[in-house]
Amino acid sequence: MKERIGFIGVGLMGHGMAGNLVDKGWPLTVVGHRNRAPVENLKARGAEEADTARELALQSDVVLLCVTGSPEVQEVISGPDGLVAAGKPLLIIDCSTSDPSVTTRLAGDLAKSNITLIDAPLSRTPADAHAGTLDVMVGGDPDVVARARPVLEAFAARVVHTGPTGTGHTMKLLNNFLSMGYAALYSEALALGAKAGLTSQVFDSVIRGGRMDCPFYQTFFKWVLDRDPNAHKFAIRNGLKDMTYLASFANAAGLANPMGAAVRNSFALAVGTGHGEDYVPMLADVVAGLNGVSPREAT
């Protein structure tokens, strides 16, 4: 018999993940979301709705979290009507991009309440979440990860066990450092090309199919070339959040990370100039505009 699943955070990524779970026969309960459309969609497909995290915990064996970051995770777990308030054993799977130091501390605290927390952050896009082809990095005890694996495989094509709890979030920060770094590099390169009279089409004709091509590049350039706003639905403000977590992690580890600081500054500048809700590929337009180049010329 399949375990009862609770899901908190049915936003851009969470909706597709939860949809795969309910469609594949997992008993699913979700907490209401500020956007009612995904909640109503999931209920129409067979999910139940709980009013609070505490109520959801009472109906669940396993709870997945797909919220913004560590503060939101702590609130839904330890808030006045949070998961801990249910007073029962649970397996909590944190699919958010969170601060690894917070994750490990929280896991230790929750163990005293007979609650197990593992981290299982995600890679790829909301389209992959709906298709069930996400990549998942899981940190936790091997036996717990084995229990969680069938749940994760409902929406993931690849599940990689990274080590103890906290290592999933660490690996996710490194993954996002690379992807946000690519975004910053592409954006500056396009702006420089525009200054020199090189179009984005010429840029792409050189890079695509060559050694510097990759799936992230192709997704990024769906916006650059085709102006597809749904190419990569990940907000610039979330990129800044992740790069800030990386800076905190590097500082705690005693590691100088000048490249990380430079990438973070690119995202901080975009957020500071009012572009936090734009999606990551739109950073190309922001960098172009701040350098006096027409976004159409640069992109």
Over the stretch 199-236, which tens digit does the pLDDT of each residue have?
A: 999 999 999 999 999 999 999 999 999 999 999 999 99
- What's the CA gap between 233 and 277, in Å, rounded? 10
- Spacing of C-alpha 121 from chain mean position: 7
Task: Please check the confidence at residue 295 and state whether its pLDDT lies above 80.
Answer: no
Residue 32 is predicted with a pLDDT of 80
Residue 243 is predicted with a pLDDT of 96
Identify whether residues 158 and 236 lie together within a single domain.
no
Q: Write phi, then psi, for 113 (nearest 5 degrees).
A: -100, 15
Task: Please check the confidence at residue 299 and state whether its pLDDT lies above 60.
Answer: no
Question: Could you tell me what percent of the chain has a pLDDT over 70?
Answer: 98
- What's the CA gap between 147 and 152, in Å, rounded? 10
List the CATH number of the domain containing 131. Answer: 3.40.50.720
Chosen domain end from 164, 193, 210: 164
Identify whether residues 84 and 206 lie together within a single domain.
no
The count of structural domains within the chain is 2
Chosen domain end from 116, 134, 164: 164
226: containing domain: 170-298
- Confidence bin at 296 (pLDDT 50/70/90): low
Identify whether residues 155 and 240 lie together within a single domain.
no
Identify whether residues 222 and 93 lie together within a single domain.
no
Identify whether residues 182 and 67 lie together within a single domain.
no
Identify whether residues 124 and 201 lie together within a single domain.
no
Average pLDDT over residues 231-247: 94
Chosen domain end from 109, 136, 164: 164
Provide the pairing of β-strand 122-123 with 62-65: unpaired
Residue 268 is predicted with a pLDDT of 98
- Confidence bin at 34 (pLDDT 50/70/90): confident
- Confidence bin at 286 (pLDDT 50/70/90): very high
Residue 216 is predicted with a pLDDT of 96
Task: Please check the confidence at residue 56 and state whether its pLDDT lies above 80.
Answer: yes
Identify whether residues 59 and 186 lie together within a single domain.
no
Contact call for residues 7 and 66 (beta carbons, < 8 A): yes
Over the stretch 108-138, which tens digit does the pLDDT of each residue have?
A: 999 999 999 999 999 998 999 999 999 999 9
Residue 297 is predicted with a pLDDT of 60
Burial class (CB in 10 A: 0-12, 13-18, 19+), 170: buried
Q: Which of the residues are catalytic?
A: 172
- What's the CA gap between 223 and 25, in Å, rounded? 36
Task: Please check the confidence at residue 176 and state whether its pLDDT lies above 80.
Answer: yes
List the CATH number of the domain containing 220. Answer: 1.10.1040.10
- What's the CA gap between 152 and 274, in Å, rounded? 36
Identify whether residues 18 and 38 lie together within a single domain.
yes
- Which residues touch 92 (CB under 8 Å, ≥6 apart)? 62, 63, 64, 65, 77, 83, 110, 115, 116, 117, 118
Residue 294 is predicted with a pLDDT of 74
- What's the CA gap between 126 and 235, in Å, rounded? 12
